[in-house]
Structure 1
Amino acid sequence: EKKREISEAMGQTAVSVSDSSEALLNEDKEESNDDESFENYPDFSWDTLPLYMHVRKIESFSDEELKFLSKFPLVTLEKTTEMGTYGSTDVGSIKSAEKIKEYNANAKVLFYWNCIINYTYYSFQKELDDHEDWFLKDKTTGEDVEVHRGNRKLFDLSQPEVRKWWIDKATGVCDHPSIDGLFIDAITDVVSPTYLTNVANISDEKKTEVVKGWNEMMSDIQEALVQKKKLKVANVLRALLSDSGLSYLHYFDGSYLERFEDHDVEYLEKGIAAAQQAAQSKKILALTMRLCDSSDDEVDFDDMRKLQPRIDYCIGLFLIIAEKYSYLYIHDGYDVNTDSDGKCKSKVWLKRFSQYDRPLGEPLGPAEKVSNYNYTRVFEHVKVKVNINEKRAHLSWSDDWVIV
């Protein structure tokens, strides 16, 4: 209750990171200071780079793909997963999770569920046909707010009935033994300074009601999933928020991070600081970084020498953030469907970079910011230097060290 009051008191958007965000993280850290708090967390080891997987495929995964997925300790199955085979994302996700766990029962599989955007890929979509009043209305036209090229409506989270429906559907899927928790998306669309008022074109007063309802819904889903011993990972940390989303992280076991380097170097610097604070507070972090665009025909994925600088930078950036329960995914897009020529849309799907199998070892201390935009950190088997302004990293692996 105290946590909900703090979040609601912060108003429509996240305010400065200040003491309240840090206090909430410290409170979570103290509450989870025993091993039982992490019994449902993904497997973790410093032996080699800890990896994450985030993927979508409309048709069924092949046996080769399922074996590949089963090797990741934490997997998010995106919207549309196997719906071409089973008719819906929820059924497809459950079937995929069952098959993944046949290869590795310890893999943690998350179900994708958007907190405000109504994606229509679920078996329970028809239940909304008689509830047009459950969606936000444009303040000018009075018509449904539609985003993503006019194809998606937004839930009106100020209504208790909407929140109850959203929670019931989420917990219903999570009740399946092969689903280990929820991946909650689009937090920033709710709490950002401008999205609901500028993009969705609702009033400031309505936005206040929606954000208040969202806070109540997150508190309720947190309580429900804690009782079920299910994970709660959200797309919540983002430097575009004044406190990078840290004030909302107490609802969740951790955060997925995307678009980490979308803006200027100060934006990245702010994101690094927030991610470090979250990781040090024992939150799960799933950092995703683009290797390049999968549509870039100039990239030679068979020549690792050309890709190595970017791979090393992604790894270096991750390692200056990482703590226990931090995971990395370097990708060229989450879509692994095949095109009309039968080619996979991802050129790195089913591939494994050699750096992933090099010995890592535990960190010998936190990262140090040694000068503007320069960070260093030492692990048992690698020394890391990162320059975020030049987007380069130097990784010195122990098998390359010269002993004198």
Structure 2
Amino acid sequence: MKRSTYLWRLSRGILFLTVLITANRTIAQTDFIPVEQAVYKIQQEQKTLIYKMGPIALELDSALASLSGSAKVDHFYKNLDLYASQDLKFSQLLDAHRLLEKQVQELEAQSNTAFENNSDSEAMFQLPDARKLGIPKLPESILNKDWSWDKIHRYIVIRKRRTAFTEDELRTIASFDMIQMASDQGSLDLAKELKAINPNMICIGYRNVIIWHETFDTDLFRNNPNWFLKNFKTGAYETHGSTGQKAQKPLFDLRVPAMRDWWIKDVASQCDQGVLDGILIDAFAKVLTGWGPKRRSIETDPQATKEYNRIFTDELLLRNIRENGHKGLIIGNTLRSGYPDALKSFVDVYLHGSYMEWIEGNQEHYVEGLSSLLDALIQIGKDPGDKVLCFQFGAHYPPPPKVKVENAQNHIPESTIMPEMGEHYDARNKTHEDIVKEMREAFPYKLAIFLIGANKYSYMGYASTVVSNDGLERWAPQYPEHNKKIGRPLGHATKKGKYYYEREFEHVSVKLNVETREAVLTWK
């Protein structure tokens, strides 16, 4: 690169970053607990990447240069995928930025887990009693869908940069059994197209329970500024994060009755659209736990947090399932390792089921976390009534085991899933071919986890991207196992060791050792 070009880009980068920092109101105030310090450090790395992305975007988009302040920021972030499709360097920087974002999510998950496992956890929330509150029945619209144990029922989240899906892509998406989408007009139109191909497909909308996924610059915020959380010390609005678009997204204050009324009506509206079969409620654990922005918005008295959580469960969730539960499927991003009973009790009472991400938890608490989640899933299968369960797996190797496999209890010598795969768990700079290879090699292990925890109305998601432009083999991989019959279970999974499980189906036997990352699928 010529020196003059470099200096020009450097000056543009400094100017662009200045605009971003100003518009985002700099770093949100924090108590700087250890996890937040680590998050802060990562966010500085993200800012450096934005510093490099800005000048490229200005070269690609003449409209961006004519904007200023928050309008410039909004335009930039709304067109990230467009810029990535036009410039290889921008695409690489964006991928690096999103990888860092995943690290932030993992750290936040660890923080929530640690918070709930400390001595003050009882002050945060109480597990609901299904015997007193009852268990909601699945809506008729879901019961009328075809479901059998003949195959792996598949779940997908997908979008596309710049252009509409092709006919081939639509047919591929429609071959899945469930899709999670937004509730905007584009998503509703997509749902109509998919159902025209596959009427049995379940399409669900989305509503976050704490994050307003638009921005401060919307009518909802302008007309209802008291609906959103403020830092109880400074009075400043709290946001989803401190950088990028997250710094533009305010947080709902569930203590405001009018806000709760609007939220419940919005869920009803999505269920009444005619093409959506229900809704996913996101950020469940963020409300219940000591998530930083929420913690900074509520007085430090544990009773204040407990009362906030009581409002969340009694006056939002319970009311919502009773008013809207018959209209459509209502699931939450709820079940999660590291919490009391993996939050199963909340799924029992307030939801028709659960979406699950971070199924394997974090590396430090992998064994205990995954085992506790599997135990909760097995119990769900034994309990009366059915729950819809959506497993969204990370399509990568599990972390390496902490024990020597040959010394572990319930070692599975015949395992085709080798613990050595974990040596590449945290590899960087993977090529497309590396990712596809890793996805294929890790799939049988993830399938074993799924089959141990699966019940009727369970769906498996497995992809390394949610963007169709990244290649069919990454967002809709097709493996021989997808064409094999599973057959009905011959019983629930049995736990024959501290971290060892077995289960029998008509057409496959499953062995899984969470501690050693070993699994065997024996097809009959």
Tell me if structure 2 keeps the 8 A contact 1:192–1:241: no
Letter of the structure 1 residue corresponding to residue 455 of structure 2: E
**Is 1:118–2:212 an aligned residue pair?**
yes
Aligned twin of 1:366 = 492
For 2:370, which of 265, 268, 274 is the aligned residue? 268
Deviation, 1:121, is 7.6
Deviation, 1:159, is 0.7
C-alpha separation between the residues in 2 aligned to 1:347 and 1:121?
Answer: 34
Letter of the structure 1 residue corresponding to residue 167 of structure 2: D
Structure 2, unmatched stretches of 5+, are: 1-120, 398-426
Could you tell me the TM-score, scaled by structure 2's length?
Answer: 0.63
For 1:99, which of 186, 193, 197 is the aligned residue? 193
Change (3 A) 1:356 1:317: same
**Is 1:137–2:230 an aligned residue pair?**
yes
Deviation, 1:195, is 4.6
Tell me if structure 1 keeps the 8 A contact 2:352–2:387: yes
**Is 1:147–2:234 an aligned residue pair?**
no
C-alpha separation between the residues in 2 aligned to 1:377 and 1:112?
Answer: 34
Instruction: Please state which structure has a larger fraction of its residues in strand.
Output: 1
**Is 1:163–2:257 an aligned residue pair?**
no
Which of 235-244 and 204-213 deviates more? 204-213
Aligned twin of 1:248 = 346
**Is 1:68–2:179 an aligned residue pair?**
no
Letter of the structure 1 residue corresponding to residue 444 of structure 2: D
Change (3 A) 1:379 1:238: same
C-alpha separation between the residues in 2 aligned to 1:386 and 1:377?
Answer: 9
Larger radius of gyration: 2
Aligned twin of 1:6 = none
C-alpha separation between the residues in 2 aligned to 1:233 and 1:106?
Answer: 18
Q: Write out aligned runs for 1:338-357 (5 A).
A: 338=469, 344=470, 348-357=474-483
Aligned twin of 1:83 = none
Aligned twin of 1:212 = 310
Tell me if structure 1 keeps the 8 A contact 2:154–2:177: yes
Deviation, 1:76, is 0.7
Cα RMSD (Å): 2.9
Q: Write out aligned runs for 1:3-402 (5 A).
A: 13-15=124-126, 21=129, 23=131, 27-28=134-135, 32=137, 39-41=141-143, 42-57=145-160, 59=162, 60-77=164-181, 79=182, 89-120=183-214, 125-149=218-242, 150-195=247-292, 198=295, 203-204=300-301, 206-215=304-313, 216-228=315-327, 230-249=328-347, 250-263=349-362, 264=365, 265-281=367-383, 282-292=386-396, 297-298=430-431, 300=433, 307-333=439-465, 335-336=466-467, 338=469, 344=470, 348-398=474-524
- Secondary structure in 2 matching 1:352: coil
Letter of the structure 2 residue corresponding to residue 94 of structure 1: L
Deviation, 1:373, is 1.4
Deviation, 1:48, is 1.4
Deviation, 1:127, is 2.9
- Secondary structure in 2 matching 1:93: helix
C-alpha separation between the residues in 1 aligned to 2:513 and 2:378?
Answer: 17
Tell me if structure 1 keeps the 8 A contact 2:509–2:521: yes
Change (3 A) 1:208 1:372: closer
Deviation, 1:196, is 5.5
- Secondary structure in 2 matching 1:217: helix
Q: Deviations over 1:116-168 (max 9, x none)?
A: 1010089x942331211110110121110112232321101101100111122
C-alpha separation between the residues in 1 aligned to 2:391 and 2:156?
Answer: 10
Deviation, 1:58, is 5.7
Tell me if structure 2 keeps the 8 A contact 1:56–1:336: yes
Q: Deviations over 1:160-183 (max 9, x none)?
A: 100111122222222111011111
C-alpha separation between the residues in 1 aligned to 2:132 and 2:170?
Answer: 38
Change (3 A) 1:61 1:299: closer
Deviation, 1:300, is 2.9
Tell me if structure 2 keeps the 8 A contact 1:12–1:191: no
Deviation, 1:303, is 6.8
Tell me if structure 1 keeps the 8 A contact 2:239–2:293: no
C-alpha separation between the residues in 2 aligned to 1:235 and 1:295?
Answer: 28
Deviation, 1:22, is 6.2
C-alpha separation between the residues in 2 aligned to 1:289 and 1:43?
Answer: 24
What is the number of equivalent residue pairs in this alignment? 361
Tell me if structure 1 keeps the 8 A contact 2:338–2:369: yes
Letter of the structure 1 residue corresponding to residue 320 of structure 2: I
- Secondary structure in 1 matching 2:506: coil
Aligned twin of 1:402 = none
Tell me if structure 2 keeps the 8 A contact 1:363–1:380: yes
C-alpha separation between the residues in 2 aligned to 1:11 and 1:337?
Answer: 43
Tell me if structure 2 keeps the 8 A contact 1:310–1:392: no
Letter of the structure 2 residue corresponding to residue 273 of structure 1: D
Deviation, 1:194, is 4.8
- Secondary structure in 2 matching 1:141: coil
Change (3 A) 1:347 1:246: same
Instruction: Please state which structure has a larger fraction of its residues in helix.
Output: 2
C-alpha separation between the residues in 1 aligned to 2:374 and 2:222?
Answer: 43
Higher relative contact order (CA 8 A, sep 6+): 1
Deviation, 1:38, is 5.0
What is the aligned-residue identity percentage?
A: 27
Q: Deviations over 1:311-335 (max 9, x none)?
A: 11100001111111111111213x2
Letter of the structure 2 residue corresponding to residue 145 of structure 1: E
Structure 1, unmatched stretches of 5+, are: 1-9, 80-88, 339-343, 399-404
C-alpha separation between the residues in 2 aligned to 1:158 and 1:345?
Answer: 44
Deviation, 1:359, is 1.5
- Secondary structure in 2 matching 1:94: helix
Could you tell me the TM-score, scaled by structure 1's length?
Answer: 0.80
Deviation, 1:113, is 0.8
C-alpha separation between the residues in 2 aligned to 1:345 and 1:195?
Answer: 36
- Secondary structure in 2 matching 1:118: coil
